[in-house]
């Protein structure tokens, strides 16, 4: 299991438009192509709005194939073009990180019980 962290710097004044596009269009299309969206968050860095989300993948090959299908999806291409034409570019930059569990946290164990790899460990 790997995770993918995506951090989008949103163009000034366009946060709500981006979140709306993600929730109404992007996320459903992603799910259709096999994406598992673990969660999404709003953040701020250096006075700029950010949209952050975390994806879960069984492996890098699955991730790469799903992204290729998503980026080539006719509906996504049309939605992105229409929103950019209406509101201007919504995203200024994207940070993309692949996260591999280091082995001392509960990340790979969500939903499991017991001990060892794949188990849920609670830290207090």
**pLDDT confidence of residue 123:** 41
Tell me the average pLDDT across 25-32: 98
45 pLDDT band (50/70/90 cuts)?
A: very high
**pLDDT confidence of residue 120:** 37
* Phi, psi values for residue 109, rounded to 5°: -105, 5
Residues in a beta bridge with 96: 6
Question: For tokens 């992007």, what's the residue?
Answer: 26
Tell me the average pLDDT across 114-121: 39
77 pLDDT band (50/70/90 cuts)?
A: very high
What is the rounded CA–CA span in Å between residue 12 and residue 92?
Answer: 9
What is the rounded CA–CA span in Å between residue 97 and residue 7?
Answer: 9
């Amino acid at each position: 299991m790997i995770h993918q962290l995506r951090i989008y710097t949103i163009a000034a004044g366009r946060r709500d438009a981006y979140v709306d596009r993600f929730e109404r269009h992007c996320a459903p299309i992603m799910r259709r192509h096999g994406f598992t969206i673990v969660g999404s968050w709003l953040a701020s860095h250096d006075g700029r709005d950010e949209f952050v989300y975390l994806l879960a993948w069984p492996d890098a090959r699955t991730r790469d194939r799903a992204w290729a299908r998503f980026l080539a999806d006719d509906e996504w291409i049309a939605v992105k073009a229409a929103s950019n034409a209406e509101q201007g570019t919504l995203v200024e930059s994207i940070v993309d990180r692949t996260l591999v569990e280091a082995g001392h946290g509960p990340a790979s164990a969500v939903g499991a019980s017991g001990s060892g790899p794949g188990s849920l460990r609670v830290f207090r």
